[in-house]
Structure 1
Amino acid sequence: MSLAPQTMAAPLAPECPFTGSRMRPHLSVPFDWRRPEDHRSWDIWWDDQAEYGQVHPRPRPVDVAAFYDIDAYYTHAERQRFDPAEEARMVGWRGRVLSSLAFRFENGAEPTAEWWRSVVPKGARNGLEIGCGNGDRMITYGPFLDLVCGVEPDPRAVSAARGNGLKVFEGTAEALPVDVTQSTYDLIVFAHVLEHTIDPVQSLRNAAALLSDNGLMSIEVPNNDCMGARMMGPAWRWLDAPRHLNFFTAESLQTCAEAAGLKVQAVLYRGYVRQFTHDWIVDEARITATMQGRAMTQADVDRQLRHSAKLLARSALAAPGHKYDSVRVLCTRA
C-alpha cells in the first residue's frame, strides 16, 4: 500500500500495536469538521507493513464522549437536521446519472435481512451487538434469533433503541456491562464500531470471550484502502476523525481479529453505490468547505460531482479492496 506522507509537527512516533514498528505521519486533519468551534487538529499515523493507522496522541477516554455531542450524527436520528430533498436538488440530474451508473457495478455483500439469514449459525439463539447505536441493525437480524441485546456508550442512542423496544445496555467495547457478560452468544456484531475504540484488540478480545463454540462474529469497518479514501484525504466521509481513532484495511482488520484470538473465515466488502448518492456527495462537499473555513455553496457540490465522476471512472472495474468503502470479516473462535 503506497501512501504519500505529509509533513506535520508531532510528538514521538507511536509504535504500531501489530508490528511494533514506529509509525509514520500520514494525514493531518485541521479540525473536527462536525465541531468547527473546536480548533484542535488530529494527526493520523500509519504503519505500511500492517496497513493500519491511528490518531496519535490518543484522546483520553473521558474526552471521547464530547466528540459525539453534535447535532447531526447517525445514532441521533431524532436530531438530524439535513434535508434529503434539498441535497437531491443540489446534485441534480448529474448525481442521479452517477448513482445509476454506479449501481451497474455494485456487487458488494450488503447486510440485508436475507444476507443475515444466510450467515446466522444454524440453531443460533442469542445475539449481541456491540456499539448498536439506535438499534436499526438489531431489528434487521433479530428475527433470526430468539434473543438479541446491545451495548452502546451514547445515552441518547440507548434511549432511542429502548424506545424501539430493544434490550440495550449502556457501556463500551473495552468495558462491557455485567448485564451482557453473564451469557454467551451465537452471533456477535461490530458494525462500524471498531474504528471508534481506544483499544481495538482488547475490544475484540472481550467479545471473543463471550462467543459460543459454534458462534460467528461479524466485524465491519471503513476500508481505508479504497480509492475514495485516497482521493479525498482528510475530507473523506468515512475518515471522520476524531470519532474514528483507528484506520483499517482488509489486511489490518484480519490482523486485529487474529490478535484477539479469532479465526477469520471470510473477508467481504460493501459500499460502492452509496459513494455516489446525493447525501455522500453533498457531505464531502460540505466537509471540504468547512475545512476551508467557509459555508458550502452550490459550486462546491458541482466540484464534488466532477470528483465523483472521476472516482467512478477509476473504480468501477477495480479490485474489491480498492473499490468498496467498507470491509467486513466473519470470524469464529480460534
Structure 2
Amino acid sequence: MVNSSQTKEYADRLVRLQQSPWKRLLDVQAPYRWNLKRLKPGKTLDIGCGIGRNLINLSQGVGIDPNTRAIEVARSFGLTAYTPEDFENSPDYQQEFYDSLLLAHVAEHIGLDSTISLIGRYLNLLKFNGKLIIITPQEAGYQSDVTHTEFIDFDKLSTINKALGLLESRRYSFPFPRIFGKLFRYNEFVFVSRKMA
C-alpha cells in the first residue's frame, strides 16, 4: 500500500498551501527559516524534502523524497532533489559528506520503526560529529493531516536517537513553549543529536 503522502495529489496540495496569499503576505515561514538557520546545519541532506520548503532555506542542501511529483516541484525551484533511487546513483551520495541530516515533518507520516530504518539508511553519509535534526508536529499539527500515522513526541524522538546510537545535544518546543502544542497547529518538537562514532 502506498502512503498517501507519496501521491501526486499530496504534492499538489503542498504547493497550494505554500502559495496561499495570506501565508505569502505575512511570511509565516520566517520564524521557521530563522530556527533552521540558527541550528547551523551546514551541508545538509534533507530526507523527505517534499517540494523543498526547508531545502530552499538551506545554503548547502540536497533533498530526497519518494514522491516523484514533489521532486519535480523542488527541481522547478532550482533545488537539488532526487528520488531515493536516483540519489544513490548521484554524485551527492558520498560517505561522511554531510554536516547534517534533516528529517522535518516526516516521522509522523511513517512511524517510529520506519523512521529508525530510514535514518539508518543514510547515517553513513553523515560526518563524525555531524547533526541529526528531527522536527515533528505537536498535537494540533499532528491532528491536522490525515496522512499522519503516529504521534512522535520527545520520548519517541529519544527512542529514535538511542536506537541509532547518537548523542542527544538539544531538544525544545518551537516557536512557543510546549503547553501551546495542543492549540497552535504550527508548534513543533525539535530534536538535535550528534554522530559520535
Normalising by the residue count of structure 1, what TM-score does the alignment of the two structures yield? Answer: 0.47
Percent identity over the alignment?
Answer: 23
1:118 positional shift:
3.1
8 A contact 1:265–1:332 mirrored in 2: yes
Q: 1:176 to 1:245 in 2, by over 3 A?
A: farther
CA contact (8 A) 1:219 1:330 kept: yes
| Residue 159 (structure 2) pairs with residue 252 (structure 1) | no
Larger radius of gyration: 1
Give distance in 2, aligned partners of 1:127 and 1:83: 27
- Answer yes or no: is the 8 Å Cα contact 1:153–1:170 preserved in 2: yes
Kindly indicate whether residue 32 of structure 2 is the aligned counterpart of residue 111 of structure 1. Answer: yes
- Give the structure 1 partner of residue 88 of structure 2: 177
> Aligned pair 1:265/2:169, yes or no?
yes
Deviation, 1:70, is 2.9
Per-residue deviation at 1:176? 6.5
Q: Which residue of 1 aligns with 2:28?
A: none
Match of 2:13 among 61, 73, 82: 73
Counterparts of 1:122-271 in structure 2, within 5 Å, are 124=42, 126-142=43-59, 145=60, 148-171=61-84, 177-179=88-90, 180-183=92-95, 184-197=97-110, 199-224=114-139, 228=140, 236-237=143-144, 240-241=145-146, 243-271=147-175
Secondary structure of residue in 1 paired with 2:75: helix
Are 1:326 and 2:177 an aligned pair?
Answer: no
> Using the alignment, how far apart are the partners of 1:165 and 1:82 within structure 2?
17
C-alpha distance in structure 1 between counterparts of 2:40 and 2:18, whole Å: 35
Q: TM-score, normalised by structure 2?
A: 0.75
Distance 1:149 1:69 in 2: 21
Distance 1:178 1:269, change over 3 A: farther
State the alpha-carbon separation in 2 of the partners of residues 82 and 163 from structure 1: 15
List alignment gaps of at least 5 residues for structure 1. 1-59, 86-109, 230-234, 273-319
Amino acid at match of 2:161: A
Structure 1 residue 133: Cα displacement: 1.3
Provide the rounded CA distance (Å) in 1 between the counterparts of 2:137 and 2:88. Answer: 26
Q: Does the aligned pair in 2 maintain the 1:204–1:257 contact within 8 Å? A: no
Q: Which runs of 5+ in 2 are unaligned?
A: 23-30, 182-186
The CA deviation at 1:132 is: 0.9
Which amino acid counterpart does residue 156 of structure 2 have in structure 1? S
Length, aligned pairs only: 179
SS of corresponding position for 1:166: coil
SS in 2 for 1:159: helix
Residues 195 and 221, structure 1, Cα contact 8 Å, conserved in 2? yes
Aligned partner of 2:55: which letter? Answer: M
CA-atom RMSD in angstroms: 3.1
What is the CA distance between 1:253 and its match in structure 2?
A: 1.2
> Equivalent residue of 2:58, what SS?
helix
- How far did residue 332 of structure 1 move? 0.5
Matches within 5 A, 1:38-117: 60=1, 63-65=2-4, 68-70=7-9, 73-74=13-14, 77=15, 79=16, 110-113=31-34, 115-117=35-37
User: 1:139 and 1:221 mapped to 2: Cα distance?
Assistant: 19
SS in 1 for 2:51: coil
SS at match of 2:159: helix
